[in-house]
Amino acid sequence: MRYSWDTYPLHPAVDAFIKHDPVTNELISCPTHIDAIPEFINTHGFTVEKRQVLYTVLKNQTQALHLDIPQVNENIERIKAPTTYTVTCGHQLVLWSGPLFVWTKIAHCIAICKRLQIQFPQYQFVPVFWLAAEDHDTAEIQTVHVFGKRYHWPVTGNGPVGELIPNSELNNCRINLQNAIQGMPFADAFNAALNDFQNSKHLSQAVQGLLYRFFGSEGLVCIDANRAELKQLFKNQLKADILHQETIKASLQTMQLWQSKQWKPVIGFRPCNIFYIFENTRKRIDKTPTGFELSDKSKFWTTSEMELEIDSNPERFSPNALLRPLYQQYILPNIMYVAGPQELAYWLQLKSVFKHYNISFPLLSLRYMQIPLSAKTIRYLHKLNLQPIDTFKTEQALLTAVTCNDPLTLHAVEWNATFKSRIEDLGQRIYHVDASLKPAFEAETHKYLKGIERLISKSNAKIKSNATQFQQQINNIKNAVFPQHQIIERTEHPAQWYLLEGPDFIKQLIMRCEQLEGEIVFYATARHNTES
């Protein structure tokens, strides 16, 4: 079953975007449509110099993984060609690549590239996964669930997560998961991926290796952009943001539109939107009256010292979440970004900033959401006469809907009032003919009403019993779609479906992404026998 994203609670700016509200035309380059691709390509160039630097970085990164996947190698070679463009998505480096929606996002990128390749054979389209290797929030990457069981890697630190080293605690997680999946149809393939992940030099390589193992045959290219060669290309923008606070000034035009619509920004712009990476820490740069300092005041620069530091060590400067899209677009020949709802919201804050820096603003696509439903969950939905999209409602709303649809539900009070009114009317007619019949009529009426009340009481007892059953079935449905009180695509690792279905699981993820703009798709799937 397919549904539009407008059935899901979204930020009002994103809701306006997916509904093609004309106001969002000022927030994007052009509406996302396949006919917009050639025009976008013709009006947005990408230099040979940047292609060569990008190619070299990608080549070095894949060689460091000691992988030889023809489809990946071919797409990296294509990057050098002026007719090659990318479709990009990205995410944090969550344990073992993260929950289901990360794979769905990648599948959407791949599906878009396949469609564009057929439609425009004169170009080449490469799906790219951008690793958020510079992020330093370890709390967001530590935990995944597989078959409902929590696996937690207790890492700490304040440096780029891509540099984290797989350790004994991670190895314990690996062993526990491998023990849990013994005997499953595709356990061997996934065990190999877990072993490679554990034996990687650092987390960035670990995630790249895992994604290449499962998506490399589809030509996916991963990039860790925390590289000096790429930062060197972006030096002028780093200087403009830090030395002259140009980003926050440039944001005013777009943010005034947001303010006029009373939309709350997802992320706030700062005078400096750059972090500083040094000695395995990543700290915010703040403007001061006399220069610049780190958020913990451990370093200070005058303006001239800061400019020299950017020139000498550009790799130490790390864009924040708002400046990262500009960095990404500057170093990639990217025509489209596939975003989640929160990502898309902050991309919609950036149009005037892109314009100021003269960087191409890509077409935007809200990703697919794919929700697997077990056979048991589907049976519950059918039994309760519910649609898959109804699972987004609260349990109380579902219970109300189900009980109102129950054919046994009797509105006894309303029925009694109507019936008694008619009895009284009938009595008046009888009394008018023969007043002596009144005692007998009232006795028979009383006897009849008592009998009806007994039947209603029995019926209500049955309704109450049904409501208890309905409540349990609704609980089962909600727990299946929202384990840990979050939607399943955000909590459960795709391993639990891959282990049962193997490569076909990935093929189906891609095939369900039928269009450029994402949808919400519920689908029947194989499921482990511990299903809710």
Residue-level pLDDT, tens digit, the chain, 532 residues: 999 999 999 999 999 999 999 999 999 999 999 999 999 999 888 999 999 999 999 999 999 999 899 999 999 999 999 999 999 999 999 999 999 999 999 999 999 999 999 999 999 999 999 999 999 999 999 999 999 999 999 988 889 999 999 999 999 999 999 999 999 999 999 999 999 999 999 999 999 999 999 999 999 999 999 999 999 999 999 999 999 999 999 999 999 999 999 999 999 999 999 999 999 999 999 999 999 999 999 999 999 999 999 999 999 999 999 999 999 999 999 999 999 999 999 999 999 999 999 999 999 999 999 999 999 999 999 999 999 999 999 998 998 888 765 555 555 556 667 777 888 888 888 888 888 888 888 888 888 888 877 877 777 676 666 778 888 999 999 999 999 899 999 999 999 999 999 999 999 999 999 999 999 999 998 654 444 4
Predicted local confidence at residue 168, as pLDDT: 95
- Which residues, in sequence order, are CB contacts of 373 under 8 Å at separation 6+? 381, 388, 480, 481, 522, 523, 524, 525
Contact 286, 294 (CB under 8 A): yes
Indicate whether 467 and 339 sit together in one domain. Answer: no
Indicate whether 467 and 325 sit together in one domain. Answer: no
Is the pTM value of this prediction over 0.95?
no
The verdict on residue 277 lying in a domain is: no
* H helix runs in 302-411, sequence order: 303-312, 324-331, 341-347, 351-357, 375-383, 395-404
The verdict on residue 268 lying in a domain is: no
- Which residues, in sequence order, are CB contacts of 326 under 8 Å at separation 6+? 237, 319, 350, 353, 354, 357, 359
Indicate whether 336 and 441 sit together in one domain. Answer: no
The verdict on residue 167 lying in a domain is: yes
Indicate whether 77 and 161 sit together in one domain. Answer: yes
Predicted local confidence at residue 363, as pLDDT: 97
Predicted local confidence at residue 528, as pLDDT: 46
Predicted local confidence at residue 406, as pLDDT: 54
Contact 527, 475 (CB under 8 A): no
- Which residues, in sequence order, are CB contacts of 58 under 8 Å at separation 6+? 76, 79, 221, 223
Indicate whether 213 and 362 sit together in one domain. Answer: yes
Contact 364, 340 (CB under 8 A): no
Indicate whether 97 and 30 sit together in one domain. Answer: yes
Indicate whether 105 and 197 sit together in one domain. Answer: yes
Predicted local confidence at residue 59, as pLDDT: 97
The verdict on residue 207 lying in a domain is: yes
Indicate whether 331 and 443 sit together in one domain. Answer: no
Domain extent, residue 84, equals 2-232+321-371+500-521
Total of domains in the chain:
2
Indicate whether 174 and 50 sit together in one domain. Answer: yes
Separation of alpha carbons 112 and 102, rounded Å: 16
Predicted local confidence at residue 351, as pLDDT: 97
Separation of alpha carbons 65 and 293, rounded Å: 37
Nearest CA to 350 out of 327, 374, 318 is that of 327
The verdict on residue 240 lying in a domain is: no
Separation of alpha carbons 174 and 417, rounded Å: 67
Indicate whether 407 and 464 sit together in one domain. Answer: yes
Indicate whether 40 and 103 sit together in one domain. Answer: yes
